[in-house]
Amino acid sequence: MDLSLMRELSVSTNSKIVLLVLDGLGGLPNEGGETELEAANSPHLDSLAAKSDLGLSRPVAAGVSPGSGPGHLALFGYDPLEYRVGRGVLSALGVGFELGENDLAARINFATKDESGKISDRRAGRIASSDAAKLVNLLNEEVELDGAKVSIVHEKEHRAVAVFHAGGLSGDLSDSDPQRTGLEPLPVEPTTADGAARESASLANAFIKEANRVLEDSHPANTILLRGFGMHPALPRFDEVYKLRAAAIAGYPMYKGLARLAGMQVLKEGEGIAGEFETLKENWDSYDFFFIHVKATDAAGEDGDARRKSAAIEEVDALLPGLLDLGPAALAITGDHATPAKMKSHSWHGVPFLLFSEYTLPTASSFGERTCAGGSLGVFAAEEIMGLLMGHALKLNRYGA
């Protein structure tokens, strides 16, 4: 989407917009022939679909499986191919770490390595946050690097972030995460011929070696995987582009980091999905745009648990009437990417999209991948979503004479 056009046409009004993101919402048919969304008992979503525009969004490009970072940047209207943000940067910002302009950040996954040196679990059994926090403290105490300092901060469960402090660092690095089990971790390598990238790769590999030494006896979290290297980027501010007082409600630090990077106010969320909806209600009068993030759908998809993913959708469905009672002028319900339980990973498939307002062209009576594929919006780029929301909330002036 052309952000300069949005900046030119956007107007500040009292109407309210809600972008409700069920992470990894898209799916594929399971044994019963239905996707997780289609199999869910979701009468409120189906009723809303009968009054809404439907479509399938494409987060990045055809056939490309997006990470959560580019998936969300597209939802916020940023071209994910132009604005590349490392996962480590988002994790660091999400936990409130103040990144310096010369700092290099990387996302850590505590993982399990078997006796042959291959990864048997990329998430170390999703170890408890309390256990992971102890390992982070151990790494901070024991790891030493020549010529650089490293700060390690726990994020949530098996996730942490490493921030390297030194001169002349580069984020042009490959991941050590092989992205699947049964494979050995990869060496971090420079993705450009730049000398800073070569030095940064050596630093990252030295850190991994040190971490493996420290964690050797810490089963199941006896190794780390690094991914999403990056340095602090500059994004056009969301509030300046769209003339919105924008707030974010999210339970996981990374998504708070995304919101902060865009310039949204991150609200203190309540417990679980119901707590997030309660936070929305409590802050309704103070903002005119709300980004709400639900993680449970993605986690279930990555675990291959189709029923649990459907149950998370059903929990959102039960809370939907309370959201509608608030009277948003435009409400979008979608995901940042697909995470089919069948694949246990992010995928390139279209993401179901529902847009409710007074100005829609309904085409179906239920909310699912197949009804969205035949909806009035068809298949479209996810970065167009903010324009659709702004238009449906009557927050865009007419273009041209």
Per-residue confidence at 1, pLDDT binned at 50, 70, 90? Answer: confident
Is the pLDDT reported for residue 233 higher than 80?
Answer: no
The whole-angstrom separation of Cα 118 and Cα 102 is 33
Percent pLDDT > 70 in the chain is 100
| Phi and psi angles of residue 348, each rounded to the nearest 5 degrees, phi first | -90, 0
In this predicted model, what pLDDT tens digit does every residue of 38-66 receive, in sequence order? 999 999 999 999 999 999 999 999 999 99
The whole-angstrom separation of Cα 228 and Cα 161 is 10
Q: Is residue 365 part of a domain?
A: yes
pLDDT at 169: 93
Per-residue confidence at 140, pLDDT binned at 50, 70, 90? Answer: very high
- Are 279 and 380 part of one and the same domain? yes
Q: Is residue 324 part of a domain?
A: yes
Instruction: Give the number of domains in the chain.
Output: 2
The mean per-residue pLDDT over the stretch 304-330 comes to 98
Q: What contacts 134, CB < 8 A, 6 or more positions away? A: none
Higher pLDDT, 369 or 252: 369
The mean per-residue pLDDT over the stretch 328-347 comes to 97
Q: Which candidate, 243, 197, 190, places its Cα nearest to that of 13?
A: 243
The whole-angstrom separation of Cα 368 and Cα 313 is 11
Q: What is the CATH number of the domain that holds 285?
A: 3.40.720.10
**Amino acid, res. 97:** F
pLDDT at 84: 83
Q: Is residue 100 part of a domain?
A: yes
Q: Is residue 400 part of a domain?
A: no
- Are 385 and 280 part of one and the same domain? yes
Q: Is residue 397 part of a domain?
A: no
Instruction: Find residue 361's DSSP bridge partners.
Output: none
- Are 133 and 59 part of one and the same domain? no
In this predicted model, what pLDDT tens digit does every residue of 358-393 receive, in sequence order? 999 999 999 999 999 999 999 999 999 999 999 999
Task: Pick the last residue of a domain from 189, 208, 230.
Answer: 230
- Are 250 and 149 part of one and the same domain? no
Is the pLDDT reported for residue 98 higher than 90?
Answer: no
pTM of the predicted model, to two decimals? 0.80
Q: Is residue 159 part of a domain?
A: yes
Rounded to the nearest integer, the mean pLDDT of the chain is 94
pLDDT at 145: 92
Is the pLDDT reported for residue 399 higher than 90?
Answer: yes
Task: Pick the last residue of a domain from 209, 230, 251.
Answer: 230
Locate tokens 């988002």: which residue? 90
- Are 135 and 280 part of one and the same domain? no
Q: Is residue 256 part of a domain?
A: yes
- Are 382 and 242 part of one and the same domain? yes
Per-residue confidence at 33, pLDDT binned at 50, 70, 90? Answer: very high
- Are 267 and 347 part of one and the same domain? yes
The mean per-residue pLDDT over the stretch 113-130 comes to 93
On whether the CB atoms of residues 25 and 103 are closer than 8 A, the answer is no
In this predicted model, what pLDDT tens digit does every residue of 170-194 receive, in sequence order? 999 999 999 899 999 999 999 999 8
Is the pLDDT reported for residue 96 higher than 90?
Answer: no
Locate tokens 């996954």: which residue? 109
pLDDT at 95: 84
- Are 225 and 257 part of one and the same domain? no
Task: Pick the last residue of a domain from 214, 230, 246.
Answer: 230
pLDDT at 101: 81
Q: Domain range spanning residue 125?
A: 90-230
- Are 304 and 368 part of one and the same domain? yes
pLDDT at 87: 80
Q: Is residue 398 part of a domain?
A: no
On whether the CB atoms of residues 108 and 123 are closer than 8 A, the answer is no
- Are 379 and 265 part of one and the same domain? yes
pLDDT at 51: 97
- Are 224 and 310 part of one and the same domain? no
- Are 176 and 319 part of one and the same domain? no
Per-residue confidence at 397, pLDDT binned at 50, 70, 90? Answer: very high
The mean per-residue pLDDT over the stretch 75-86 comes to 91
